[in-house]
Structure 1
Amino acid sequence: MRSAILIATALLLTPLTASAGAITVTTRIVQRSSSSSSASRDDAAGRAMLKNVASAQSDINRVLNELRRDHEQSAELREARSALRTAQMNYQDACNVALEPVRSSAQYKQARENILTLERKLTWGRYDNHMSDEQIATTASALLKARLVVTTMESQALTADPNLPTVRYAMMDANGRLVGLQRSFNQSIVSDSQYLQARARLDDARSQISGSR
């Protein structure tokens, strides 16, 4: 182990020498270990390795952000998203057309009114606390059944419409195309040259830390 030798000089004042006005000089050799300086160098090296890891991770994030930006701005992706929005609007329009007859019926309107009445009753009962727990539970159950009546009427109308499957499948196809583009992009990242270089740098920086332990 390396060590530093220091010479310490002390002034020793004894009763006899003090009375005579003389001063005795005592010299002492002190050894100090260099372990503290070695630890300091190790800390500096560790910080440097951590800095390399952070820099490599920053490079990967930059590459991923650039790849995502290019993907988001691609004409193919924009067209796929536009096609999906159009298909969704077409499906919603077709549903509204299919539901129009049933929504215009007296039975449907009465069922909707029943829902609103029960909702108001339940809300005010909880607000002013004039309903018992049993009454609240009974009203909530009745509200659930009333909503089920409306849902059943709408579902039957949609099922009976012969044009609805076509627009629904078109919407599903548009969504599938968009999902496929996203999946292809995700798979392409791992083979991108910039990503591979940044990844190799990160792996190397991490291996240096592992090797120093």
Structure 2
Amino acid sequence: MTIGKRIRTWRETNGWTIPDLADRIEGVSAQSVGRYERGERLPDSAFLEALVRLGCDPVVLLLGSQAAQSQVQTHSPGVAPDAVEVECLAFSASAGYGALAINETGKKATVRRDVLERLNLRPEFARLVKANGDSMLPTIHHDDPLIIDVSKTARSSPIDNKVYVFTIGDEAYLKRLRREPGRLVMISDNRENFPERVVPAEEPFRIVGRVMWGEREL
């Protein structure tokens, strides 16, 4: 099933017509939605993100109806032709209270090749990590599998309001980043419990990678 057909199936499951869906997404016409569903045009990332905000499961959208864990599988001998291996990262407890670190696991997982192609992400720059915590609810849930881009471009040129894995000192974070005059702000989607914070200028800051897709986000 193509991504256009998955969009249509999800829309119809919600009982919406094409104009109903278009009305819920700013800047998108019913004609554009129709083209996406018929496969005449590939949906851009802004449209896909809007679907996720409306409750669409992005893994189902990109991969089909099987659960994310069956699509992103632990490495085993003999990789299928339509899959590629990517390295895994993991959040772990840090020395600080409630803090996390992020480390390479030495393990690999298989991801469908067409998923990386849709994300325009080369396998050597792709990493798989599971989310930790609830600061990005409702967009990203605890233990959601995330595909991140660790290329130099992703790490050196952050895009405002996109989601990144980054470190401040020895602690790792999964947040949106926004540049403001003279400072960088980290933003949680669960803002009621996790207010915006300025990245401390005096602390070492490093972007690990940009989150390209997850079970409920990009």
TM interval, shorter chain, is under 0.3
Q: Which has the higher strand share?
A: 2
Task: State the TM-score, normalizing by the size of structure 1.
Answer: 0.17
Instruction: State the structure with bigger RCO (CA 8 A, min sep 6), 1 or 2.
Output: 1
Q: Which has the higher helix share?
A: 1
Task: State the TM-score, normalizing by the size of structure 2.
Answer: 0.17
Larger radius of gyration: 1
